[in-house]
Amino acid sequence: MQSDTSILEKNSKLTESSIHPSGGGGASIFISDKAKAKVINLMNDAGVGGDPSYFLRVSVVGGGCSGLSYKMDFDNEVKPMDQVFEDKGIKIVCDLKSFLYLVNTELEFSDGLNGKGFYFNNPNASRSCGCGESFAV
Protein backbone atom coordinates (compact mmCIF):
# COMPACT_ATOMS: atom_id res chain seq x y z
CA MET A 1 0.00 0.00 0.00
CA GLN A 2 1.28 3.51 -0.77
CA SER A 3 2.25 5.90 1.97
CA ASP A 4 -0.06 8.80 2.81
CA THR A 5 2.53 11.24 1.39
CA SER A 6 2.71 9.52 -2.00
CA ILE A 7 -1.08 9.53 -2.22
CA LEU A 8 -1.10 13.27 -1.58
CA GLU A 9 1.61 13.86 -4.17
CA LYS A 10 -0.21 11.73 -6.76
CA ASN A 11 -3.57 13.42 -6.34
CA SER A 12 -3.22 17.19 -6.69
CA LYS A 13 -6.79 17.66 -5.43
CA LEU A 14 -5.66 16.62 -1.95
CA THR A 15 -3.96 19.50 -0.17
CA GLU A 16 -3.45 20.18 3.51
CA SER A 17 -6.53 22.41 3.56
CA SER A 18 -8.67 19.80 1.81
CA ILE A 19 -7.82 16.85 4.06
CA HIS A 20 -8.45 18.71 7.28
CA PRO A 21 -12.03 19.94 7.62
CA SER A 22 -10.84 22.87 9.73
CA GLY A 23 -8.52 23.90 6.89
CA GLY A 24 -11.37 25.55 5.03
CA GLY A 25 -11.17 23.32 1.96
CA GLY A 26 -14.74 22.08 2.40
CA ALA A 27 -13.69 18.47 1.82
CA SER A 28 -16.10 15.93 3.20
CA ILE A 29 -17.84 12.63 2.64
CA PHE A 30 -21.36 12.99 1.30
CA ILE A 31 -24.48 10.83 1.18
CA SER A 32 -27.27 10.80 -1.41
CA ASP A 33 -30.94 10.99 -0.40
CA LYS A 34 -31.50 7.34 -1.38
CA ALA A 35 -28.49 6.16 0.61
CA LYS A 36 -29.61 8.23 3.60
CA ALA A 37 -33.04 6.58 3.58
CA LYS A 38 -31.47 3.10 3.35
CA VAL A 39 -29.00 3.84 6.17
CA ILE A 40 -31.85 5.01 8.41
CA ASN A 41 -33.81 1.83 7.62
CA LEU A 42 -30.79 -0.38 8.35
CA MET A 43 -30.04 1.44 11.61
CA ASN A 44 -33.66 0.94 12.68
CA ASP A 45 -33.47 -2.76 11.73
CA ALA A 46 -30.26 -3.09 13.78
CA GLY A 47 -31.97 -1.50 16.79
CA VAL A 48 -29.69 1.56 16.90
CA GLY A 49 -31.84 3.99 14.92
CA GLY A 50 -33.05 5.91 17.95
CA ASP A 51 -29.62 6.08 19.60
CA PRO A 52 -27.85 9.37 18.72
CA SER A 53 -24.47 7.92 19.78
CA TYR A 54 -24.44 5.61 16.71
CA PHE A 55 -23.14 6.71 13.33
CA LEU A 56 -22.09 5.33 9.96
CA ARG A 57 -18.41 4.38 9.82
CA VAL A 58 -16.86 4.12 6.36
CA SER A 59 -13.33 2.99 5.66
CA VAL A 60 -10.97 1.68 3.03
CA VAL A 61 -9.23 -1.67 3.48
CA GLY A 62 -6.75 -3.57 1.36
CA GLY A 63 -8.21 -6.25 -0.88
CA GLY A 64 -10.60 -6.73 -3.74
CA CYS A 65 -9.80 -7.20 -7.39
CA SER A 66 -8.58 -3.60 -7.81
CA GLY A 67 -6.50 -3.44 -4.63
CA LEU A 68 -8.68 -1.46 -2.19
CA SER A 69 -12.19 -2.13 -0.90
CA TYR A 70 -14.82 -0.05 0.85
CA LYS A 71 -16.15 -1.03 4.26
CA MET A 72 -19.25 0.26 6.07
CA ASP A 73 -20.58 -0.42 9.54
CA PHE A 74 -22.45 1.19 12.42
CA ASP A 75 -20.34 2.30 15.36
CA ASN A 76 -20.66 4.40 18.49
CA GLU A 77 -16.99 5.02 19.37
CA VAL A 78 -15.07 7.91 17.81
CA LYS A 79 -11.32 7.27 17.85
CA PRO A 80 -8.71 10.04 18.29
CA MET A 81 -7.68 10.37 14.60
CA ASP A 82 -11.20 9.94 13.17
CA GLN A 83 -12.63 12.48 10.78
CA VAL A 84 -16.26 13.33 11.58
CA PHE A 85 -18.74 14.70 9.03
CA GLU A 86 -22.46 15.23 8.81
CA ASP A 87 -24.44 15.33 5.59
CA LYS A 88 -28.22 15.44 5.34
CA GLY A 89 -28.48 14.67 9.06
CA ILE A 90 -26.36 11.49 8.87
CA LYS A 91 -23.16 11.43 10.92
CA ILE A 92 -20.36 9.83 8.91
CA VAL A 93 -17.02 8.94 10.50
CA CYS A 94 -13.82 7.56 8.98
CA ASP A 95 -10.22 7.19 10.03
CA LEU A 96 -7.73 9.71 8.62
CA LYS A 97 -5.95 7.20 6.37
CA SER A 98 -9.26 6.14 4.76
CA PHE A 99 -10.26 9.77 4.33
CA LEU A 100 -7.23 10.32 2.10
CA TYR A 101 -8.90 7.89 -0.32
CA LEU A 102 -12.48 9.05 0.31
CA VAL A 103 -12.20 12.86 0.22
CA ASN A 104 -15.29 14.29 -1.58
CA THR A 105 -16.78 10.83 -2.14
CA GLU A 106 -20.55 10.40 -2.17
CA LEU A 107 -22.20 7.28 -0.79
CA GLU A 108 -25.01 6.23 -3.12
CA PHE A 109 -27.65 3.49 -3.07
CA SER A 110 -29.13 1.76 -6.08
CA ASP A 111 -32.18 -0.47 -6.11
CA GLY A 112 -32.41 -0.81 -9.87
CA LEU A 113 -32.36 -3.83 -12.16
CA ASN A 114 -28.59 -3.59 -12.75
CA GLY A 115 -27.75 -4.20 -9.13
CA LYS A 116 -28.94 -3.37 -5.67
CA GLY A 117 -26.81 -1.97 -2.89
CA PHE A 118 -24.51 0.78 -1.74
CA TYR A 119 -21.75 2.12 -3.92
CA PHE A 120 -19.23 4.92 -3.60
CA ASN A 121 -19.01 7.67 -6.20
CA ASN A 122 -15.30 8.31 -5.60
CA PRO A 123 -13.60 11.07 -7.63
CA ASN A 124 -10.19 9.88 -6.38
CA ALA A 125 -10.39 6.37 -7.88
CA SER A 126 -8.33 5.93 -11.02
CA ARG A 127 -10.08 2.64 -11.79
CA SER A 128 -12.64 0.37 -10.19
CA CYS A 129 -13.67 -3.22 -10.74
CA GLY A 130 -16.82 -4.32 -12.52
CA CYS A 131 -18.60 -5.15 -9.29
CA GLY A 132 -17.95 -1.64 -7.90
CA GLU A 133 -16.73 -2.96 -4.56
CA SER A 134 -13.04 -2.25 -5.04
CA PHE A 135 -10.93 0.50 -6.58
CA ALA A 136 -7.39 1.79 -7.10
CA VAL A 137 -5.85 5.25 -6.93
Mean pLDDT for 46-69 is 89
Q: What is the pLDDT of residue 132?
A: 54
Residue-wise DSSP of 55-117: EEEEEEEE-STTSEEEEEEEE----TTEEEEEETTEEEEEEHHHHHHHTT-EEEEEEETTEEE
Amino acid letter, 53: S
Tell if the pTM clears 0.75, that is, is over it: no
pLDDT of the residue at 115: 73
Backbone angles phi, psi at 72, to 5 degrees: -135, 145
One-letter amino acid of 10 = K
Handedness of CA 121, 122, 126, 127 (dihedral sign): negative
Position 6 scores a pLDDT of 34
What per-residue string of b and e applies to 9-30 under the rule 16 or more CB within 10 Å gives b?
A: eebeebeeebbeeeeebebbbb
Q: Please tell me the predicted confidence (pLDDT) of residue 131.
A: 54
pLDDT band of 11, cuts 50, 70, 90:
very low
Residues 6+ apart with CB under 8 A from 26: 18
- CA pair distance 31, 9, nearest whole angstrom: 27
Q: Tell me the mean pLDDT in the region 13-33.
A: 58
Average pLDDT of the segment spanning 1-9: 37
